[in-house]
Structure 1
Amino acid sequence: MWNPDEYLKMLYDGIKPASRFSGSSEDEWFAWQEGFRKHFVQLMGGFPEQAADLKPTLLESVDCGTYVRQRVQIQTLEQLFMPMYVLIPKDVEERHRAVIACHGHGYGSRDIVGLNPDGTEKTGDAGYQKNFAVELVNRGFLVVAPELFGFGDRKLTENAKDANSCNRISSFLLAIGKTMAGYRVYETMRCIDYLLANHDVDEKRIGCMGISGGGLVCSYTAAVDERIAAAVVSGFTNTYEASLLSIHHCIDNYIPGLSLEAEMPDVISLIAPRPLLIEAGTNDRIFPVHGTMEAYRRLEAIYQLHDKGDRLGLDLFDGEHEISGRLAYDWLAAHL
C-alpha cells in the first residue's frame, strides 16, 4: 500500500498539457506552431542570441573509395568545440543533398561511420546503428555525423573509459537551468551552418536522421529548425508516458516541466507538414510499440489537417532497438 505506483499514475492522469494544439484549421496550426516552438526552445534552456564563429578546422581526410571521410572541428559555442565526420560522396554532378546523421548511445560518431572506438575500420557486426552514415553517403548524400555532447571524444576527462558518460554533464546543466537536449539540438543546428558556409549544398535539400538519443536530437532539431527539409527518426518516437516516464532512461532525455506543456507527439508534430518517417522495432523494449503507435496516430491527424498525409511514413519492422533502413534511404532520396 506504500508503493507510489498509483500516485505517479494519478499525477500523470491529472496533467492537461498547457501547450497542446486544440484548433481545427491550418491557420490556427501555424499560429500554434510558432508560439509553441519558441516556448519549447526556452524549456530546453534557450539558445545563444549570437552565434560563435565556427572556426572550421580539417583534422584528417581519408579516401574511402566511393567517398572521402573528413574529420572536422567546429566551434559551437564560446569555448566549446565539436569534432564531426563529414562524408563526401564522389562523382556527384548536382549540388549536394545533405543529411545530418545523429548517433545514439554508445561510443559516438565513429560507430555510424564504420569505425571502432579506436578509429580502426569496423569489421563483422555493425551494431544496432548499422553504419547508417556510410549507408547514406553511398547513396549520394553528403553526410555530417557530429560527436554529440557527452559521447566519444566529448566525455568528461573522468569518464574517458566509460561507455556512457552523459549523466554528470546532464545533471550539471539541469542545475544551471540548461538541458543536454538543448545543447545537442543547438550544436546540430550549427552543423547546418557549417554545411551552408563550407560546402556546395542545396539549402532546400538538407535532411536529418537519428536513432535512439540521436532520434531525440534529430526530431527536436527538425521541430525547431525549418532548414531541415525531411527527417527520419528511428527508435525514439513514442509517448513520454509509455517510454521516458515508465522505463529507465538516461537523464539526458529529460527537460524540466515539459510534460506539463506537451506530450512527445505534440513536440514532434512541430515538424509538420515537412516529410517525416518513423522507424520502430516491434520488440523495442525501451520505446515500446504501443507508445509508438499512439504517437503515430496523433501525428497522422496533424498531417491530415494539412492534407499532407503522404509526407508521414512509418517503418514498423520486426526488430529491436535498432536502425531498419528498409525504407529510410529511399524515402530520404525521394523527399530530398
Structure 2
Amino acid sequence: MKNNRRDFLKKTGLAGLGIAGSGLLNGLGSAPSSSSTSAADGATTETEGISIIGAYGPWAASLIEGDLPEYSFRRDQWNDLAGWRKEARERYIERLGMPDLGNVPEVTVEKQYSYDGLMIEELSWQLPYGPPTGAIVLKPRGADGPLPGILGFHDHGGNKYFGKRKITRTADNRHPLIENHHQEYYEGMAWANEIAKRGYVVLVSDAFPFASRRVLLSDVPEHLRGGLDDQNPENPENIRDYNDWAGRHEHIMAKSLFSAGTTWPALFLAEDHMALDILCGRDDVDESRVGCGGLSGGGMRTVFMGGMDPRIQCAVCVGFMTTWKDLVVAKSYTHTWMTYVPLLPNELAFPEILGLRVPSATMVLNNEEDALFTLSEMERADDIMGEVYQKAGAADHYQCSFHPGPHKFDRAMQAEAFDWFDRWLKP
C-alpha cells in the first residue's frame, strides 16, 4: 500500500503540505486508503546511504554542509543582532524576487453576520493580477476596544479548491470535504474560530492559488485542461478532479514563475504581507499585538512571513520545520513546488528564515510521526533555532514541542499554540 501511495503522490504532485493522512486521500478519491508513511522511513533511507536522487544525494548534501551559510547568525562574524537581521532580510527578499503589489487595495465587505458567538465578515479585495481575494474576519461578538490580531494561514493539503474554509466555520452545515478535512488535520475543529473566541480579531485569506485565487480551467489552454471544466464547482467529484488537475499543474506554475523572475514563496509573502496590512489597518485591531500561524502550508507561510515582517510579534509554525538537507536527500518529493527559493540554502539554513525574527516570540510544533519530514532533521532544526535564540540572549522567547502522531494540528497542539499567543499578545 505504501508504495502505491507514494507512486500516486509523485504522479499527481499532491504530496505537498498536509497530505500525510489517509482520510483526506479518501476524500479526494484519488488514492487507496493507507496509513501514514512512517517518519522512520526517511531516517532509514539516510542511514543506509540511499537518497531520493540516487548516487548524487551525498554530493548534493555536501554543497550545504560544512561551513555555516553565509548569513547564518550562528557565524562568529555576526554579533550585532540588528545589523545581521537587516542584511540577512535584504538578501532573503532579494532571493525571493518578491513582486511589488502597490498600495493596499480597497476592501469590500461582502457580508456580516453572527455565528457561534462570533461576529463574522466576508471580505474581498483586488490585487493587480488574478481574481479577487476572498477572506474571512472573525472576532468575539460584542467585543470592545482594539483587540490583538491573528493572521491565520490555511494549509495546502493537496486541495486547492478550498482555502479559508479549511480553518474556519461560518455555519452549522459544512461541505462534506471540509468536514473531512477538519476531522483529519484539526481533530474536528475550525482553529481560526477557536482562537478568535479567546479575544482576537482573526483574518484568514485565500492564498495564491487556492479557492477564490485558484486557477480556473477556462483560463488555461484547452489542451492543458485534461477534459475538465469549471461547471458545478461545489460537486465533490468535480472538486476531486480539480485538485488532481491542480496538483499536476504545479510544476507548470513554478517554472513559469521562475521564468518571470519570481518564486512561489515570493507570491505567498507578497499577498500575505498585503493581508497583514489590511488586518493592521482595522480600527478593531491593536497593530502592536499581532501574530500569525498555521499548519503545513500555513506553517511554511509562517516561516516566510514571520521571518520577514517585524509587525508579527508572535509566530506559531505547525508541521513545517526541517532542514534543507532533509529536502535534498529524503523528503523533497513529499513537498509542493511552493517551498523552494533558489540559492537561498547557501545563505540561510531553513530554520533561520524563521529565525530572522529573533528575538520576537516564536513557537514550532512538530509531530513525531510526520511523514513529510525526517524526525532527526526536525530535531536538528530545533537545535538551530535554539542556537540562534540563545546567541541573541532570548532563549525564553523560543519554544519547540514534539507531539505524538502524524501530520496534524490537533486539540492538544492548538491549546499549546493558543496559550503561547496569549502569553505574548495579551496585556
Judge same fold: TM > 0.5, yes or no.
Answer: yes
| Alignment deviations for residues 281-333 of structure 1 (CA, whole Å, 9 cap, x no partner) | 11101023222211111111111122211111112111211112131001101
Contact 1:208 1:232 in 2 (8 A): yes
Find the aligned partners of 2:300 and 2:183 in 1 and give their Cα distance. Answer: 22
Find the aligned partners of 1:25 and 1:66 in 2 and give their Cα distance. Answer: 52
The one of 166, 188, 201 equivalent to 1:111 is: 166
Identical positions, percent: 22
Distance 1:234 1:14, change over 3 A: same
Q: Which residue of 1 aligns with 2:105?
A: 54
Distance 1:269 1:194, change over 3 A: same
Unaligned runs of at least 5 residues, structure 1: none
The one of 93, 101, 106 equivalent to 2:144 is: 93
The one of 90, 93, 118 equivalent to 1:41 is: 93
Q: CA deviation at 1:53?
A: 4.0
Contact 1:220 1:267 in 2 (8 A): yes
> 1:134 and 2:201 equivalent?
no
Find the aligned partners of 2:390 and 2:74 in 1 and give their Cα distance. Answer: 15
Contact 1:212 1:234 in 2 (8 A): yes
SS in 1 for 2:341: coil
Find the aligned partners of 1:170 and 1:59 in 2 and give their Cα distance. Answer: 32
Q: Which residue of 1 aligns with 2:270?
A: 186
Contact 1:52 1:77 in 2 (8 A): no
Point out the more displaced range, 270-279 or 10-19. 10-19
SS in 2 for 1:300: helix
| Superposition pairs of residues 252-267 of structure 1, within 5 angstroms | 252-267=338-353
Distance 1:109 1:4, change over 3 A: closer
Contact 1:52 1:78 in 2 (8 A): no
Contact 1:171 1:251 in 2 (8 A): no
- State the number of aligned residues: 333
SS in 2 for 1:272: coil
Q: Spell out structure 1 runs of 4+ moving beyond 6 A.
A: none
Q: Counterpart amino acid of 2:166?
A: D
Contact 1:57 1:73 in 2 (8 A): yes
Find the aligned partners of 1:59 and 1:51 in 2 and give their Cα distance. Answer: 23
> 1:29 and 2:81 equivalent?
yes
Return the index of the structure with the highest Cα Rg: 2
The one of 263, 281, 285 equivalent to 1:197 is: 281
| Superposition pairs of residues 232-251 of structure 1, within 5 angstroms | 232-243=316-327, 246-247=330-331, 248=333, 249-251=335-337
Distance 1:54 1:7, change over 3 A: same
Q: CA deviation at 1:131?
A: 1.6
Q: CA deviation at 1:25?
A: 8.4
Q: Which residue of 2 aligns with 1:145?
A: 204
Q: Counterpart amino acid of 2:98?
A: G
* Greater relative CO, 1 or 2 (CA 8 Å, sep 6+): 2
| Superposition pairs of residues 15-26 of structure 1, within 5 angstroms | 15=64, 16=67, 17-24=69-76
Distance 1:54 1:5, change over 3 A: same
Point out the more displaced range, 275-284 or 82-91. 82-91
Find the aligned partners of 1:114 and 1:127 in 2 and give their Cα distance. Answer: 15
Q: Which residue of 1 aligns with 2:295?
A: 211
Contact 2:126 2:132 in 1 (8 A): yes
Contact 1:128 1:322 in 2 (8 A): yes
Contact 1:209 1:231 in 2 (8 A): yes
Q: Which residue of 2 aligns with 1:330?
A: 419
Find the aligned partners of 2:130 and 2:403 in 1 and give their Cα distance. Answer: 42
Larger strand proportion, structure 1 or 2? 1
| Superposition pairs of residues 302-317 of structure 1, within 5 angstroms | 302-317=388-403
Find the aligned partners of 1:229 and 1:68 in 2 and give their Cα distance. Answer: 24
| Alignment deviations for residues 182-241 of structure 1 (CA, whole Å, 9 cap, x no partner) | 111111111121122233211110000111111111121111100010000000011121
| Alignment deviations for residues 69-91 of structure 1 (CA, whole Å, 9 cap, x no partner) | 22101234456631111112223
- TM-score for both structures, normalised by structure 2: 0.72
Q: Which residue of 2 aligns with 1:163?
A: 243
Distance 1:19 1:25, change over 3 A: closer
| Alignment deviations for residues 70-117 of structure 1 (CA, whole Å, 9 cap, x no partner) | 21012344566311111122232342111001011132110100369x
Q: Counterpart amino acid of 2:416?
A: L
Distance 1:245 1:74, change over 3 A: farther
Point out the more displaced range, 271-280 or 174-183. 174-183
Distance 1:133 1:245, change over 3 A: farther
Q: Which residue of 2 aligns with 1:290?
A: 376
Unaligned runs of at least 5 residues, structure 2: 1-49, 218-224, 231-238
Point out the more displaced range, 14-23 or 321-330. 14-23
Q: Which residue of 2 aligns with 1:278?
A: 364
> 1:5 and 2:54 equivalent?
yes
Distance 1:100 1:227, change over 3 A: same
Contact 1:25 1:305 in 2 (8 A): no
Find the aligned partners of 1:212 and 1:40 in 2 and give their Cα distance. Answer: 21
Find the aligned partners of 1:301 and 1:309 in 2 and give their Cα distance. Answer: 8
Find the aligned partners of 1:238 and 1:331 in 2 and give their Cα distance. Answer: 21
Q: CA deviation at 1:28?
A: 2.5
Contact 2:60 2:328 in 1 (8 A): no
| Alignment deviations for residues 137-177 of structure 1 (CA, whole Å, 9 cap, x no partner) | 12111101110101122211127642263613333212211
The one of 129, 132, 137 equivalent to 1:81 is: 132
